[in-house]
Structure formats: C-alpha cells, structure tokens
C-alpha cells in the first residue's frame, strides 16, 4: 500500500516572498516550477489569511515560463 505524504506548505507574504517553513528558507517561482516538474505536491497559502492560492501561483509559473521560454 502506498504511503500518503502530506503536501509541502509554502506561505506567500504580502511582499510576494514565498517561504517554505519546513525547510526554513525562502523559495523562488523557479524552485516551485522545479517542484512541479519533479511531481512534488505543494500548497501555497497566503501567510496572513491562510487562503489557498495554489492555482494562482501555478498560473503565474505558466505565464513566466511562456515569457522566458
């Protein structure tokens, strides 16, 4: 039986910085794109409200990939 692994939680702060509390480090959109490619599960939440903003961050990654090739 496969083990269930909780998704990594990334917190987005008002100034746009993305923080991975599990690693104790800030991450970039590039790093999140690499996580998508590596099939790593993650959730992005607004640090202040806890709102799930994963979809909008994924859209942002797609847009940046399109403009930077």
How confident is the model over 51-67, as pLDDT tens digits? Answer: 999 999 999 999 988 77
The residues, any chain, with a CB within 8 Å of residue 2's CB and separated by 6 or more, are none
Residue 64 lies in a domain: yes
CA dihedral 65, 49, 23, 40 (to 10 degrees): -50
Q: What mean pLDDT do residues 16-45 have?
A: 96
Structural domain total, the chain: 1
DSSP designation for 52: B
pTM as predicted: 0.85
Name the residue range of residue 63's domain.
8-68
Residue 3 lies in a domain: no
Residue 1 lies in a domain: no
The residues, any chain, with a CB within 8 Å of residue 51's CB and separated by 6 or more, are 45
- The CA distance from 11 to 18, in Å, is 6
């Amino acid at each position: 039986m496969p083990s269930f692994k909780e998704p990594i939680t990334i917190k987005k702060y008002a100034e746009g910085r993305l923080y991975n509390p599990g690693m104790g480090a800030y991450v970039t959109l590039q790093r999140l794109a690499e996580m998508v490619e590596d099939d790593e599960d993650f959730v992005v939440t607004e640090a202040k409200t806890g709102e799930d903003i994963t979809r909008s961050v994924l859209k942002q990654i797609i847009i940046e990939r399109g403009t930077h090739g």
